[in-house]
Structure 1
Amino acid sequence: MTVPTYDQLMLPLLRLAGARLANDLPTAEKLLGDEFGLTLDERTTMLPSGQQTALRNRTGWASFYLMKAGLLAKPKRGYFEITERGREVLKAPPASIDKTFLASFPEFREFLMGSPGDSSENVTQVLAQSTAPDQVTPDEALQGAYQQLRSELASQVLERLLQVSPEFFEQIVVELLVAMGYGGSRRDAGERIGRSGDGGIDGIIKEDRLGLDVIYIQAKRWQGTVGRPEIQKFVGALHGQRARKGVFITTSAFSAEARDYVSHIDVKVVLLDGIQIASLMIDHGVGVTPVATYVVKRLDSDYFEEI
Structure 2
Amino acid sequence: MSTEPSSPVTDGIPRWQDFMIPVLKVLSDGTPRRRRDLIVAVQDVAELTAEQRSVQLNSGQSKIENRVGWALSDLTTATAVRRPVRATFEITELGRKLLQKHPLGLDRNILATIDAYRDHQSSKIPTSSQVAKPGAETLESTLSPQEQIEVGIDLIHADVSNNLIERLRASDPAFFEQAVVDLLLKMGYGGAEQRGKRIGGTGDGGVDGVIDQDPLGLDKVYVQAKRYGEGNNISRETVQAFVGALQGVGASKGVFITTSSFTPFATGYASSVPSRVILIDGERLAALMIKYRVGVQVKESYDVVELDEDFFE
Which residue matches 2:115? 106
Q: Distance in 1 between matches of 2:193 and 2:226?
A: 20
Q: From the superposition, tell whether residues 125 and 216 of structure 1 become closer, same or farther in structure 2 (CA, over 3 Å).
A: closer
TM-score between both structures, scaled by the size of structure 2: 0.84
How far is the alpha carbon of 1:289 from its aligned partner? Answer: 1.9
Q: From the superposition, tell whether residues 84 and 2 of structure 1 become closer, same or farther in structure 2 (CA, over 3 Å).
A: same
Which residue matches 1:178? 185
Which residue matches 2:220? 214
Moved more, 224-233 or 132-141: 132-141
Q: Distance in 2 between matches of 1:210 and 1:141?
A: 49
Structure 1: which 5+ runs fail to align? 116-121
How far is the alpha carbon of 1:239 from its aligned partner? Answer: 1.2
Runs of 4+ in 1 over 6 A off after TM superposition: 122-126, 184-188
RCO (CA 8 Å, sep 6+): is it higher in 1 or 2? 2
Q: Distance in 1 between matches of 2:21 and 2:195?
A: 63
Identity of aligned residues (%): 38
Q: Distance in 1 between matches of 2:183 and 2:102?
A: 58
Moved more, 3-12 or 31-40: 31-40
Moved more, 153-162 or 104-113: 104-113
Could you tell me which amino acid in structure 1 is paired with residue 284 of structure 2? Q
Which residue matches 1:232? 240
Which residue matches 2:200? 194
* Paired residues for 1:134-283 under 5 Å: 134-183=141-190, 189-190=196-197, 192-195=198-201, 197-208=203-214, 211-223=217-229, 224-283=232-291
SS at match of 2:113: coil
TM-score between both structures, scaled by the size of structure 1: 0.86
Q: Distance in 1 between matches of 2:190 and 2:41?
A: 52
SS at match of 2:24: helix
Which residue matches 2:301? 293
Q: Do residues 37 (structure 1) and 47 (structure 2) align?
A: yes
Conserved? CA contact 2:185–2:194, under 8 Å: no
> 1:68-97 CA distances to partner (integer Å, 9 max, x unpaired)?
000000111221001122123334336421
SS at match of 2:21: helix
Which residue matches 2:131? 128
Moved more, 80-89 or 33-42: 33-42
Q: From the superposition, tell whether residues 123 and 294 of structure 1 become closer, same or farther in structure 2 (CA, over 3 Å).
A: closer
SS at match of 2:299: coil
Q: From the superposition, tell whether residues 246 and 124 of structure 1 become closer, same or farther in structure 2 (CA, over 3 Å).
A: closer
Q: From the superposition, tell whether residues 200 and 114 of structure 1 become closer, same or farther in structure 2 (CA, over 3 Å).
A: same
> 1:36-89 CA distances to partner (integer Å, 9 max, x unpaired)?
33221112111122x222111111111111010000001112210011221233
Q: From the superposition, tell whether residues 104 and 187 of structure 1 become closer, same or farther in structure 2 (CA, over 3 Å).
A: closer
Conserved? CA contact 1:25–1:59, under 8 Å: no
Structure 2: which 5+ runs fail to align? 1-10
Q: Do residues 96 (structure 1) and 99 (structure 2) align?
A: no
> 1:111-148 CA distances to partner (integer Å, 9 max, x unpaired)?
21227xxxxxx989884369536521011111111111
